[in-house]
A and B are shown apart, each in its own frame.
Chain A
Amino acid sequence: MFEKELEVYKKIKADYLAQSPQGGFVVIKGEEVLGIWQSRLDALKAGIDKYGDVPFLVKNINESDIVVNFSRNLIFA
């Protein structure tokens, strides 16, 4: 899922962090980078306004890698 978008994200991340050191949320669909917003809700809204309710990536560029930890085992679909 989001293989193409994640490739684009890897390429642009350093530039976007340089332009926006305070971080933000970038919207990517396919190879198109829609832009960067300071709040996740604003980024979601922009993506939905542009593309509709279809899959697109909203990535937080503040952090290098967000990891979620569970002390229990979970079954994923």
Chain B
Amino acid sequence: MLKSMPVFPNRVPNLQQIGPIVEIVIFPSQPIFLKMMSEGKNPPSKKVIALIDTGASGSCINDPIAKELGLIARDVISVHTPSGTTQQPIYDLGFALPSLTNNVFPVQALGADLEKQPYAALIGRDILSICTLIYNGWDNSYQLHI
């Protein structure tokens, strides 16, 4: 079954320190994307590094990217972290892998301050629910099957 799906193998020098990262492309939500296309506008997109985070039940993007893409929050949601619980806005967006930009998945993501992190997005278990992730700590490699 895994062979029939696109595979994104990767290897980093120190997987424990860096974590499993992938390049992703973020788009406005599909209705906004299509509306801009119909108006002859070029919909914005942003290629960023994302950390695959099995400790996150939802996905997250760096807030300045949401602003850069002109994303508007469409809901608020309760967020639990070790520091406590807050209500945070969430954005509807499109998510794709650079080699599969014709295959855009609709995602809801929180905006958070990730400025000091080496990545600009977290891929949470909402996206992982349609993926297979193989993490091989022995040789610092990982594979994401979508």
Total count of chain B residues near the partner, CB < 8 A: 37
Determine whether the beta carbon of B112 is less than 8 Å from that of A76: yes
Whether a CB of chain A sits under 8 angstroms from the CB of B120 is: no
Determine whether the beta carbon of A67 is less than 8 Å from that of B74: no
Contacts A41-B31, A66-B78, A70-B81; is A1 near B73 (CB within 8 Å)? yes
Contacts A69-B80, A71-B82; is A77 near B74 (CB within 8 Å)? no
Whether a CB of chain B sits under 8 angstroms from the CB of A13 is: no
Determine whether the beta carbon of B63 is less than 8 Å from that of A1: no
Instruction: Report B23 CB to chain A, min CB distance, Å.
Output: 21
Bound Cα distance A72, B76 (Å):
20
Whether a CB of chain A sits under 8 angstroms from the CB of B86 is: yes
29 A–B contacts from the bound complex (CB under 8 Å): A2-B73, A2-B76, A40-B106, A41-B30, A44-B74, A45-B31, A48-B35, A53-B32, A53-B72, A55-B73, A57-B75, A60-B75, A67-B57, A67-B80, A68-B56, A68-B57, A68-B78, A69-B58, A69-B79, A70-B80, A72-B81, A72-B82, A74-B60, A75-B113, A76-B79, A76-B110, A76-B111, A76-B112, A77-B63
The 10 tightest CB contacts between A and B, nearest first, are A71-B55, A68-B58, A75-B113, A45-B31, A74-B112, A58-B74, A77-B63, A69-B57, A67-B78, A69-B80
